[in-house]
Amino acid sequence: MRYIEHDAVVKRMNSRMVVNKVFKGFFIFATSLALLALVILLYRIVTQGAGHLSIDFLTNFASRFPEKAGIKAALIGSIWLMAVVAPTSIILGVGSAVYLEEYAKKSRLTTFIQTNIANLAGVPSVVFGLLGLTIFVRTLSLGNSILAAGFTMSLLILPVIIVAAQEAIRSVPKELRDASYGMGATKWQTIVKIILPAAIPGVLTGSILALSRAIGETAPLIVIGIPVIIQFLPKGVMDTFTALPMQIYDWSSRPQQEFQMVAAAGIIILMAFLIIMNSIAVAIRNKYDKRY
């Protein structure tokens, strides 16, 4: 007596194997579609923009004529912006993380702060622009200055930095902490001399990634009224300025075909910034990855 009909089983197995193969193919296809999109996007931008890249492009101010249009004001403006955003957001972010990880007791208030940080990360950037417009531009009368834009951007990326810094602090081994207390160090001494130095790689990596988000953000800058056409360089943080994404937005939205090439060239500069920042982040991560 046969309990298993061999042919029937083989037949059934075959169809199941075919389904498995077909879907495996489909999943691979879908994944490669996403990768393909990235390849096309980068290819288009490089082929469109490379022709316009030159030293003149870097050293000229914006112009009505596409062939004369340069990115100087935007490039310097973005660097000024980062000079405000980096210290502000890192001090606020790391300070908050140290408080939450080292000092805060498990209370309702702490849970509330933590949930609030998660929710803040989900607020659209354009809404942060509205906050900046009301609080920094109008109420504190900073106008459309580097400082107003810098503070707005700092608040925008604050949740990302806090979460990254918290993870970095949490991953410092308990033994280091205990050893420090054992030597008679106070809490603050332990934080400053032991925990923060050990957490710095993680903090830096997270902060650089957050800053690279800030450098590409456009919407908040438009909302707080950052101008595009600027023929001078800012001299201080109270001056107005323009930034790379603003300039790219302006060029992209012009009807003339030539300005699209200029926009693509601007995007190459912006992407170069991002690549440099990300490489630094990856380098830091790799260098300090397995210290403990």
- Residue closer to another protein by CB (options 104, 235) is 104
**Cα separation of the two ends of the chain:** 64
List alpha helices for the chain, DSSP H: 6-49, 55-59, 72-98, 108-120, 125-132, 146-170, 174-182, 187-190, 196-216, 219-223, 244-252, 257-288
Tell me if 98 sits within 8 A of 258, measured CB to CB. no
C-beta closer to another protein: residue 233 or 271? 271
How many C-beta atoms lie closer than 10 Å to residue 87's C-beta?
A: 12
Tokens of 2: 């046969």
* Minimum CB distance to another protein, residue 288 (Å): 18
Is the distance from CB of 238 to CB of 142 less than 8 angstroms? yes
Q: Which is nearer to another protein, 162 or 194 (CB)?
A: 162
Which two tokens mark 256? 């003339």
Residue 233 beta carbon to another protein: minimum distance, rounded to whole angstroms: 22
For another protein, the closer CB: 1 or 35 = 35
Nearer to another protein, 198 or 243 (CB): 243
Min dist CB 183 to another protein, Å, is 12
**What is the distance between the alpha carbons of residues 78 and 38, in angstroms, rounded to a whole number?**
25
CB of residue 235 to another protein, shortest distance in Å: 25
Q: What is the nearest approach in angstroms of another protein to the Cβ of residue 59?
A: 23
Nearer to another protein, 134 or 171 (CB): 134
For 219, the token pair is 């919407």
Min dist. Cβ of residue 93 to another protein (A): 9
Residue 240 phi, psi dihedral angles, 5° rounding: -80, 170
